[in-house]
């Protein structure tokens, strides 16, 4: 219903032929949560054009909860599912979750007990805008893929 209200506003008239597949709430931490909006993959470019303003309006409407827009993706059953297919879907989810922030690096760390987690470095120029959302990014990525990830900002280089 919030999308229908925004579609009537002139700034979001491009969203009229689109729809949302689902919206779920993900617990981020103590008393904090994020809303994940899944849109059909074919409408993702339309949403990306107005995503910054749309997310801002949704966050105002939902009392400060972080809003993240992702494409509804899945590995199709019946097809040959390999490690590369799953990795591709996970990397696409990673780009969706962090959008519009730029990723400057990605590291996988393996622990002694066999567990692993990813460390995703976001560009330092986006730090002011996305610093408070990094916990939400981690929780949403974990919910979508089951992979533990830490979103942080790239360390400053020695030249700066």
Given this model, what pLDDT does residue 160 score? 46
Spans of the chain, pLDDT less than 50: 158-160
Give the single-character DSSP code of 55: H
Instruction: Supply the pLDDT for residue 82.
Output: 60
CA 113 to chain centre: 29
pLDDT for res 47: 83
Strand 149-153 relative to strand 116-122, pairing: parallel
- Tokens representing 53 are 């303003």
Q: What is the pTM of this model?
A: 0.81
The per-residue pLDDT for range 100-135, each reduced to its tens digit, is: 888 888 888 888 888 888 999 998 888 888 888 889
The C-alpha atoms of residue 38 and residue 97 are separated, in whole angstroms, by 11
Strand-pair partners of 100: none
Residue-level pLDDT at 79: 60
């Amino acid at each position: 219903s919030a999308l229908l209200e925004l579609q009537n506003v002139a700034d979001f008239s491009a969203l009229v032929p689109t729809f949302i597949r689902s919206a779920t709430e993900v617990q981020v931490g103590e008393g904090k949560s994020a809303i994940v909006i899944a849109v059909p993959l074919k409408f993702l470019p339309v949403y990306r054009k107005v995503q910054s303003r749309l997310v801002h309006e949704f966050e105002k409407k939902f009392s400060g909860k972080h809003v993240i827009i992702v494409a509804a993706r899945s590995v199709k059953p019946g097809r040959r599912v390999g490690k590369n297919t799953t990795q591709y879907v996970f990397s696409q989810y990673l780009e969706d979750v962090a959008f519009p922030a730029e990723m400057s690096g990605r590291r996988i760390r393996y622990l002694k007990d066999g567990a692993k987690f990813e460390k995703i470095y976001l560009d330092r120029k986006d730090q002011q805008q996305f610093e408070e959302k990094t916990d939400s990014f981690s929780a949403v990525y974990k919910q979508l893929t089951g992979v533990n990830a830490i979103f942080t900002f790239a360390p400053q280089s020695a030249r700066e």
